[in-house]
Every structure is written in structure tokens, then in C-alpha cells.
């Protein structure tokens, strides 16, 4: 596939995909572009709506049937359930690590193996997240182990 980047004085950035037909390669590029444009709707404590890029979210946790999104230094609430977060953003690295938690694999700085197939993940902001024995194998599978 030929990739061309043109530098022009345009009012808005634009991406044009030129192809004879939508093959697997182009569909993959499209899905990547679409997922990159996706945002997660959340809100702050004072009910102010914010849109987060999935990459900003380190992990999501469900507490008392409420889902919280943990970013580097902020916590937002979202209406999405953990299952929805996992299914919508799986391609972007979201992975279920316990019954009450979904982790963004790109937000992990360092994983550490613990006895009993459990994994302790240190996130980019230094927080530690424990990946349960039940979900450890799923994480390993996502990492291609």
C-alpha cells in the first residue's frame, strides 16, 4: 500500500483512502481510523460532560453498579458498563482483568507475575492493579503468549 502525506494549507485535516475495492487491508485501516476517532463519554463530579480518547483511560472499574474511568490523574464516571467498554474498545487494547475491572493494555507500564498465576500491573500513573488468576490466561492470550 502506498502512503502519501501532503502538507497543504487546509482548514481541516483530511484523510482520503483511494482503492479499487475495500479489501482486508483497507478495512483494517478504516477500523483503525474510526477507533482513533472514537471517544468515551464521561462526566465529572459536577456533572460536566467530557469526552475522553480511549488511549487516555488507564483502566475502568465498576463499583456499586457504577463504572469509573481512571485516567493519569483524573477519575470520570461513565454510563457504559464494563462489558460494553470491553467489547467496543477491545481492538484498542481494553481487556477484562477481573469481574470489576477492565484495563487498557497500553496504560500498563510494567506487569509483574505473582504466584498462583496472578499478575500485578503497574499503570502509567504508578497505580497498581491486580489481575486475577481467572483472567490472567486471557491477558496472556491478548499479549500473544
Of residues 111, 124, 125, 127, which one binds another protein by CB under 8 A? 111
Site string for another protein, 65-84 (x = CB under 8 A): --------------------
142 touches another protein by CB under 8 A: yes
* HSE toward the beta carbon, residue 62, CA cutoff 13 A: 16
| Alpha carbon distances (Å) from 5 to 14, 15, 102, 119, 144 | 10, 9, 36, 42, 32
Q: Which is nearer to another protein, 44 or 113 (CB)?
A: 113
- Coil, strand or helix: which one is 114? strand
37 touches another protein by CB under 8 A: no
Dist. CA 94–CA 138, nearest whole Å:
12
Q: Are 122 and 128 in contact (CB under 8 A)?
A: yes
Work out how close the CB of 9 gets to another protein at its nearest, in angstroms, rounded to a whole number: 32
Q: Which region, judged by CB under 8 A, interacts with another protein, from 4-12, 59-67, 82-90, 136-144?
A: 136-144
Question: Quick one: which of 86, 93, 85 has its CA closest to 55?
Answer: 93
Q: Which region, judged by CB under 8 A, interacts with another protein, from 9-17, 57-65, 80-88, 111-119?
A: 111-119
Query: Which residues here bind another protein, judged by CB under 8 A?
Result: 92-93, 105-106, 108, 110-119, 133, 140, 142-145
Amino acid at each position: 500500500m502506498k502512503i502519501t502525506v501532503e502538507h497543504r494549507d487546509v482548514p481541516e485535516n483530511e484523510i482520503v483512502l483511494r482503492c479499487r475495492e475495500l479489501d482486508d487491508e483497507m478495512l483494517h485501516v478504516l477500523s483503525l481510523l474510526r477507533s482513533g476517532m472514537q471517544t468515551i463519554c464521561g462526566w465529572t463530579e459536577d456533572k460536566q460532560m467530557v469526552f475522553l480518547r480511549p488511549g487516555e483511560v488507564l483502566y475502568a472499574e465498576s463499583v456499586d453498579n457504577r463504572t469509573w474511568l481512571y485516567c493519569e490523574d483524573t477519575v470520570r464516571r461513565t454510563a457504559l458498563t464494563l462489558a460494553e467498554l470491553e467489547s467496543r474498545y477491545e481492538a484498542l487494547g481494553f481487556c477484562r482483568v477481573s469481574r470489576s475491572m477492565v484495563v487498557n493494555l497500553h496504560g500498563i507500564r510494567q506487569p509483574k507475575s505473582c504466584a498462583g498465576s496472578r499478575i500485578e500491573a503497574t499503570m502509567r500513573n504508578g497505580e497498581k492493579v491486580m489481575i486475577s488468576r481467572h483472567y490472567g490466561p486471557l491477558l496472556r492470550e491478548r499479549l500473544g503468549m
